[in-house]
Amino acid sequence: MKILGVDPGLYISGYGLVDWNNREPILIEAGIVKTRKDDKVERRLQYIYRSMLSLVNRMKPQAIALEKLYSHHRHPTTSYALGQARGLICLISAQLNIPLYEYPSTRIKKAVIGRGRASKEQLQKVIQQFLKIKDTPKYFDITDALAVAITHGHTLKGLG
């Protein structure tokens, strides 16, 4: 099963496509969609939408997995911006009739690392080893996206 994990953001959205064969996930593709900080929000959202729609159409995933939205009272603007980008992924999922799955960050970390309070650096190392990625990804957004895809795969296999 091809699973697309997405770590949406208004500036950088990470994505990772893995194919679960009988035993383990195989990395197919991973990267980022990056907007220009000086563009207006509507232009950034348009760029994210068009880029992600193109990626999904090309990759043909059978499922899309996202981290559940978490809002902290000290950073409401961050949640608002994240929600806008996240909404685009949900829209693409609905438009293309691709099932969408959401997981809390603690469950993602627990499924990948074994404990729910791991750092981004720890998560990145484990993902890199698990998927046999030679070079450390430049952005945590990529490994976060891969982690949510792997979590969904573990859930399907009854390991999540």
Is residue 144 among the annotated active site residues? no
Which residue among the candidates 19, 24, 39, 67 is catalytic per the annotation?
Answer: 67
Is residue 42 among the annotated active site residues? no
Is residue 24 among the annotated active site residues? no
Please state, in angstroms and rounded to a whole number, the distance separating the CA atoms of residues 78 and 160.
28
The residues pairing with 30 across neighbouring beta strands, listed in sequence order, are: 16
Which value, to the nearest 10 degrees, does the dihedral of the CA atoms of residues 138, 49, 132, 108 take?
100
- Give the count of beta carbons closer than 10 Å to the beta carbon of residue 122: 14
- Residue 98 near residue 56, CB atoms below 8 Å: yes
Pairing of strands 2-7, 63-67: parallel
Which residue among the candidates 29, 42, 141, 144 is catalytic per the annotation?
Answer: 141
Could you list the active site residues?
A: 7, 67, 141
